Amino acid sequence: MSLSPLPIDLPYAKDSAMNDLPLPLPPADRKTAGQALQDSLVDLLDLSSNAKQAHWNLRGPGFRSLHLHLDEIVETTRAFADDVAERASALGVSPDGRPVTVAARGPRPFPPGPITVAEALEVFATLYGALIPRMRGRISDTGTADPVTQDLLISVTAALEKQYWMLRAEDPAYDGA
């Protein structure tokens, strides 16, 4: 499932005494970085929400290991969401992490109700398999526009790729490739 960037006008800081201070990037670069950060924020909040949903509804053999791993995913993605939102704010872009904004991205491949460990691993493999290429695209997009934002997105993506590997390693059919 491929998601395109959010079709939104990024809100920039309103006029105030603070806005007399120069922002760290020219407008075009700020727009590029701001869009990458906003899209990343939405993806991270969505992943966090899905991980918590799975955490609450997980059933079956292998429960404890994945239950604890899902808590780690929630903790990590929420911390990175905060870093991403604060970077947007530092650039003069107002981050939007409201549930309505996250929900506007469309349906997720996450089922309601109880979920087995095997089903959860499959769902999260799909989520990570779609998210990581989007994050890598944002890394590429921000390279010239804002290397600081790019560096943050590299750190986020590295952590996501590690979590993806750990989830795949929980699958008995995983052969390491």
Residue 30 lies in a domain: yes
At 98, give phi and psi (nearest 5°).
Answer: -65, 145
N residues, the chain: 177
**What tens digit of pLDDT does each residue of 113-141 get?**
999 999 999 999 999 999 999 999 999 99
Number of domains in the chain: 1
Residue 83 pLDDT class (50, 70, 90 cuts):
very high
Question: What is the model's pLDDT at position 170?
Answer: 85
Task: Report the candidate in 9, 17, 27 with the shortest Cα–Cα distance to residue 145.
Answer: 27
Task: Report the candidate in 133, 135, 124 with the shortest Cα–Cα distance to residue 164.
Answer: 124
Q: Which structural domain, as residue segments, surrounds residue 137?
A: 26-169
Percent residues over pLDDT 70 in the chain: 85
Question: What is the model's pLDDT at position 16?
Answer: 45
CB-based contacts of 21, cutoff 8 Å, min separation 6: none
Residue 88 lies in a domain: yes
Domain with residue 111: its CATH number is 1.20.1260.10
Residue 69 lies in a domain: yes
Q: CA-to-CA distance for 136 and 120, rounded, in angstroms? A: 24
**What tens digit of pLDDT does each residue of 25-59 get?**
889 999 999 999 999 999 999 999 999 999 999 99
The label of the residue with tokens 């404890």 reads 64
Arithmetic mean of pLDDT, 142-160: 97
